[in-house]
Copies of this chain bind each other. A is one copy, B any other.
C-alpha cells in the first residue's frame, strides 16, 4: 500500500553527554517527529545512566502517541572514545566511564537493535547526511559548545583512527603560553574558544571591575550565564562581550586554517551550541581569519559553513546510525 506506514517505521536517535540526554523520534525517512530531554546524572553510575537513556527513549515514543513496538532501532551518540563494532564506550572521562558495554546493555533494556558512536562523529554524520546529502568526499566537523569536539569524514566515510579517538581537535595547541585547559596543558583550542573559555574570561574580567550589560541581566556573579545571554548583550551594544566572542572566533579561525592546511577537506562544518547561538557574530570573523591564514592553494574552493541543524545534529546522526543498523 503506497503511503501507508509499516508497523516498525520509526527510529530513535539519542545524543547523550555528561549533562543531558536528548532523544528524538524520527520516521524512516528521517523526519523528526518529537524530542525529549533528561538530565544525565553520571554520579549515580553507569547502570543508572543507561536506565535514564532507556527512559528518555520511551518518554519520546510515548510523547508522540506511539508505542515501542513501532520503533525499529535506536542510535546513540556517546561522549569519549567509542568502539562501534564492539558496542562499547572505551573511555569517557566526563562520565567516569571505562569500558562500558553500552550497546548490549541498552539492547537488553529496550529489546531493540542499538548502534553506538562517538557523539561528535554522530553529529557530523547528522550534518553530512541531512544537510549535505552525503555528497562531499572529505568533511571536517567542528562542534563548539562546553568543550570543542571534532570529527572527520574521509572518502565519504567516518574516520575514527587507530584507537577510535580521531577528531580530538579541542586539544590542538594554538598558543603555547595560553590559558590552562581542562586536559592540563596550556593554550589548547578548547581553552581559548569554547563556551567555557569565553565564560571564564568574562567572569575574570568582571571580577576585575569590567563593566558589562551581562551583570545588569544576571547579577554580579553571572550565575546561569548562557550563550544566548552573550547574544543579547552584543545586540544591545556591549562591546566587551562582542570582543570576547570575536576573540574566540579568531582563535577558531586560526584552528580552521591549521586544519585546512593539514586535511584539505572539501567542507568545514561548524556546529554546537556556541555556533548555534552566535553564528552571525562568529562565522564572518572565523571565515575571514581562516581564509587569510590558510595556504593560498589549499583553501581554494573549500567551503566553511555553519550547520543549520544546531544542537539537533547529534540526534539526526544517531537516527542515521539506527537506520543503518537495521539494513
Contact among B162, B263, B294 for A137, CB-based, below 8 A: B162
Question: What residues of chain B lie closer than 8 Å to A161, measured between beta carbons?
Answer: 138, 263-265, 298
Contact partner of A266 (CB less than 8 A), chosen from B90, B162, B176, B301, is B162
CB pair A167–B297 under 8 Å, yes or no, is: no
Cα distance A131–B255 when bound, in Å?
A: 33
A278 within 8 A of B: no
Residues of B within 8 A of A298 (CB): 81, 161, 163, 165, 168
A162 partner residues in chain B, CB cutoff 8 A: 137-138, 264-266, 301-302
A185 at the interface (CB under 8 A from B): yes
The answer to whether A323 has its CB under 8 Å from any CB of chain B is no
Interface membership of A104, Cβ < 8 A:
no
Within 8 A of B (CB), among A225-272: 254-255, 257-259, 261-266
Interface size bucket, A side?
Answer: 35 or more
A contacts with B: majority SS: loop
A150 contacts the other chain (CB 8 A):
yes
A172 & B261 in contact (Cβ 8 Å cutoff): yes
Most buried by B among A154, A162, A295, A300: A162
Q: Which residue of B lies closest to A255 (CB)?
A: B173
**A171 sits at the interface (CB 8 A):** yes
Nearest B residue (CB) for A185:
B293
Asked if A183 is at the interface of the complex by the 8 Å CB criterion, the answer is yes
Q: Which residues of B contact A264 (CB under 8 A)?
A: 160-168
A266 to B296, CA, bound (A): 30
CA distance A175 to B177 in the complex (A): 7
CB-CB under 8 A from A293, the residues of chain B are 173, 185
A interface residues, Cβ below 8 angstroms from B: 80-81, 90-91, 137-138, 150, 154-155, 159-169, 171-178, 183, 185, 187, 254-255, 257-259, 261-266, 293-298, 300-302
Known: A161-B265, A161-B298. 9 other contacts (CB 8 A): A81-B298, A155-B155, A162-B266, A163-B298, A167-B264, A171-B258, A173-B254, A176-B187, A185-B293
